[in-house]
Each structure stands twice: as C-alpha cells, then as structure tokens.
Chain A
Amino acid sequence: AQKITQTQPGMFVQEKEAVTLDCTYDTSDQSYGLFWYKQPSSGEMIFLIYQGSYDEQNATEGRYSLNFQKARKSANLVISASQLGDSAMYFCAMREVYNNNDMRFGAGTRLTVKP
C-alpha cells in the first residue's frame, strides 16, 4: 500500500525567507503523481503543485517548487519569499495510475510565517 510521510508536524519561517517542507513516499509503481495542497484556517483544500513520476524537471508554480528526488522517493515543497498568507497546513499526496484511483495523503505540516 502506498504511504506518505511528512515528518515535520510544525514549521516556522521568517517572512521573506524560503522554507522546505519534507515529504517522502513509498510505492512499488513506476507511474504516479505527487501533489501538494494548502489548507488555510478557513478549511478549504487548495491545489498548489503537481509532479509526475516521469517528469525529468522539477515542477514550479510561482513561488512554489517541488524538489523531486525519485531515487530517494522524496518530494519536498519549497516556498520562496514566504508571506504571512502562507501560514497554513500543507499536505503532500500521491496518486498511482493503476491503484484504483485514490489519492493518499500525509499527516500534514503546519507552517507559521513570522513577521
């Protein structure tokens, strides 16, 4: 069964600095996708970034980038130039192509941006 591990329950970062949120995953499949979602205090789940297992380049979306190390099975989220509005829960998730379609989530990391 696929498993997602986020080892940092909470993280603090100073405004305007960069921060890395860790995520490791476990799968025996070759074809899968990795996702990061943001959940602010209002509760909604906001899609941030996607990385496919066959993508050779790391995904980037504005201030978000995904540091994908396939051999180590890690998919860390990097947020550059942190803003106060980045304070939220962040979830790493994985979806396998041939595993009945469900996406599995890590336990999440609560990021707090200090002014």
Chain B
Amino acid sequence: NAGVTQTPKFRVLKTGQSMTLLCAQDMNHEYMYWYRQDPGMGLRLIHYSVGEGTTAKGEVPDGYNVSRLKKQNFLLGLESAAPSQTSVYFCASSYSSLRLYGYTFGSGTRLTVV
C-alpha cells in the first residue's frame, strides 16, 4: 500500500545543475500535482496534470518543467537550479475534482541549491 512515492527525499544541488524529481502513485488517480512549500507561504502549485500526456502550469511554474508519460508517474525537472528553488517539494494525486476528493501527498523532497 505505497500511495504516493517521491524520490529522492533529499538533494543538494549547485547553482546551474539540473535534476529530476520523480513521483509515482499506485492508486489509479487521474490527477497529479507538484507543490513547493516555503516558510510562511503554505503550499504553492507549480504544475499539475489531469491525465496521461497532459500538463498545465500552476501558480509558480517558472524554472520548472514537467512530464506525465505514464498515468502513474509525474516528473518535475529543474533545468538550471537557482538558490530561489531551495524548498520542500510535495507531489500529490487525486481523483477528478468533480468528486471533490482530497489529495494524497508524498512524503516530500527537501532540495537545497547552493
């Protein structure tokens, strides 16, 4: 009963490096999301996907790209990391909004960009 799994859990990057965060869910959820959490700001939506092969921008998409080639996976990429991207990243998944289900969250990835 894995739910939502995020890898890696921790990462330190140098400015300008690239990396990909992986999110995998085994609940057959249609929708998947990437959020970042910063102190005093709650969770802010980066990108989301309403189905395989589709992605859309959220509230703070700049500097990030995403892909959803398979229904169960949602990848978040940083092409050229900046210190402003130091944050905790959460992936979440859910059923369609018309059923107004809550989200299932992964355990988070703590990223530090130096």
Q: Mark A98-110, 1 if CB is under 8 A from B, else 0.
A: 1111111111100
A97 near B100 with CB under 8 A, answer yes
Nearest CB to that of A50 among chain B residues?
A: B102
Query: Once the chains are docked, how many angstroms separate the CA of A98 from the CA of B40?
Result: 28
A108 near B42 with CB under 8 A, answer yes
> Given the interface contacts A45-B90, A91-B43, does A96 sit within 8 Å of B102 by beta carbon?
no
For residue B64, give the distance in angstroms from its CB to the closest CB of chain A: 15
Provide the residues of chain A in CB contact with B74, threshold 8 Å: none
B77 within 8 A of A: no
A107 near B40 with CB under 8 A, answer yes
Q: Mark A29-55, 1 if CB is under 8 A from B, else 0.
A: 001110101000001110100101000
Q: Tally of A-B residue pairs with Cβ under 8 A?
A: 69
What total of chain A residues lie within 8 Å of the partner, measured CB to CB? 30
Q: How large is the interface on B (under 10, 10 to 19, 20 to 34, 35 or more residues)?
A: 20 to 34
B88 near A97 with CB under 8 A, answer no
B42 near A91 with CB under 8 A, answer yes
B48 near A101 with CB under 8 A, answer yes
B97 near A44 with CB under 8 A, answer no
Q: A residues near B, CB below 8 A?
A: 4, 6, 9, 31-33, 35, 37, 43-45, 47, 50, 52, 91, 93, 95-108
Shortest Cβ-Cβ A-B pairs, 7 listed? A45-B105, A33-B100, A105-B42, A101-B97, A105-B43, A107-B42, A102-B45
- Identify 30 residue pairs between A and B in the complex whose beta-carbon atoms are under 8 Å apart, listed by A's number: A9-B40, A31-B100, A33-B100, A35-B102, A35-B103, A45-B90, A45-B103, A45-B108, A50-B100, A50-B102, A95-B97, A96-B97, A97-B97, A97-B100, A99-B97, A100-B50, A100-B97, A101-B48, A101-B50, A101-B97, A102-B33, A102-B48, A103-B33, A103-B92, A103-B103, A104-B45, A105-B35, A105-B42, A107-B40, A107-B42
Q: B residues near A, CB below 8 A?
A: 31, 33, 35, 40-45, 48, 50, 56, 58, 88, 90, 92, 94, 96-98, 100, 102-105, 107-108, 110
